[in-house]
Amino acid sequence: MELTEQAGAQWKQALDTAMFTVVTVFAAYDGESYADIPTVQRTVGFIPRETREERERRTYAVSDFAAMLGVRSIACHIGFVPEDAADPDYVAVRDLVRRICDHAASHDQTFALETGQERADVLLRFLADCARPNLGINFDPANLILYGTGEPIEALRTLAPHVISVHCKDGDWPPKDTPGALGSERALGEGSVGIGRFVRTLAEVGFRGTLNVEREGAAPGEWLKDVDEAVRLLKRLTAATAQI
C-alpha cells in the first residue's frame, strides 16, 4: 500500500464515517515470512541487513501515515534481537530503533515493539539500552508461546511498566519433535495462554489500554466468528475482573 497523503485522507474519511477508532498503526514489510522460526530469523524486521535501510524508510512513512489519521502509536516486529550487546546487528538495530523513536516523537507518537521473538529479559535490556521515553511494548502473550521464548504471565509482569498496548491472542507451544517449528495459533480461550489469568494480570499491573483481538490462523469463514466470540469472552472476563 502506498502511504500517500491522498491515501491518508481517504482512510481518515472512511474511519470517521464508520466511527472506527485506530489505536495503533502496525508496520509490516515486503519479504517477511513467518513459515517457521529460522525463516523468521532470516526475513522479519530489522535484523536482515539487505532490507534494513528500506524498512527504516518504510517505518518513517508508517509514522507519517499514522499522524495523518491522528493515531498516536506505531508498532512492528523488529526481529530476533541478538543477546550480545556488542553484536554488530544489535548495535545497528538499536541505533535504528532510536531514530524511529525520534521520528515518531515528532508526531507525539509512541513506538511499540511486539513481544515474542526474544525472551522478556533480553527485550527489557534492549529497551533500557535504546533509552527513548516513547519506546515501549506491544504485548502479545501468544507469541511468547508460539516462539517458545517464555511463559507469558511471567513475561508480562517483567515488562509491565513498558506495555503500551496488547494483543489478545492464543496459541499452543511448538511441537517438541520438530526443531524450528512455530507453535499453533488457537481461537482465544482455546490455547495455552490462560486468557482469564492474562486479563486479571493486566488489571493487577495497572494496564488501562484497549484489549485488541488478533486472529490470524483461522480460515476465512471462521475468522469473524472467532473474533466475535473473543470479544464476548473478553467482555465476560473484564466484567468478572472488575468485581474482584
pLDDT tens figures, 56-108: 999 999 999 999 999 999 999 999 999 999 999 999 999 999 999 999 999 99
What amino acid occupies position 202? L
What pLDDT, on a 0 to 100 scale, did the predictor assign at position 242?
A: 79
Q: Which three cell numbers stand for residue 139?
A: 504485548
The span from the CA of 225 to the CA of 216, in Å, is 13
Give the pLDDT mean for 145-159: 98
Q: Are 171 and 190 in contact (CB under 8 A)?
A: no
Report the candidate in 200, 201, 227, 190 with the shortest Cα–Cα distance to residue 212.
Answer: 227
9, 26, 39, 48 from 31: Cα distances, Å: 27, 16, 11, 10
Cα torsion 50, 65, 134, 164: sign: negative
Is 2 exposed, middle or buried (CB count within 10 Å of its CB: 0-12, 13-18, 19+)? exposed
CATH architecture assigned to 20-139: Alpha-Beta Barrel (3.20)
Give the pLDDT mean for 109-135: 97
Say yes or no to pLDDT of 116 above 80.
yes
Report the candidate in 147, 195, 162 with the shortest Cα–Cα distance to residue 39.
Answer: 147
Say yes or no to pLDDT of 121 above 70.
yes
The span from the CA of 134 to the CA of 26, in Å, is 16
Share of the chain above pLDDT 70, in %: 99
pLDDT tens figures, 193-238: 999 999 999 999 999 999 999 998 778 789 999 999 999 999 999 9
Q: How many CB atoms lie within 10 A of CB 10?
A: 11
What pLDDT, on a 0 to 100 scale, did the predictor assign at position 228?
A: 96
What pLDDT, on a 0 to 100 scale, did the predictor assign at position 218?
A: 74
The span from the CA of 216 to the CA of 169, in Å, is 9
What pLDDT, on a 0 to 100 scale, did the predictor assign at position 178?
A: 96
Q: How many CB atoms lie within 10 A of CB 41?
A: 15
- What average pLDDT does the chain have? 96
Share of the chain above pLDDT 90, in %: 93
Q: Which three cell numbers stand for residue 202?
A: 493486566
Say yes or no to pLDDT of 244 above 70.
no
DSSP one-letter string for the chain: ----HHHHHHHHHHHHHHT-----EEE--TT---SSHHHHHHHSTT--HHHHHHHHHHHHHHHHHHHHHT--EEEE------S-TTSHHHHHHHHHHHHHHHHHHTTT-EEEEESSSS-HHHHHHHHHHH--TTEEEEE-HHHHHHTT---HHHHHHHHGGGEEEEEE-EEEPPPTTSTT---EEE-TTSSSS-HHHHHHHHHHTT--S-EEE---SS-HHHHHHHHHHHHHHHHHHHHHHHT-
What pLDDT, on a 0 to 100 scale, did the predictor assign at position 220?
A: 78
Say yes or no to pLDDT of 243 above 80.
no
Q: Which three cell numbers stand for residue 9?
A: 485522507
Domain residue spans in the chain?
20-139, 145-244
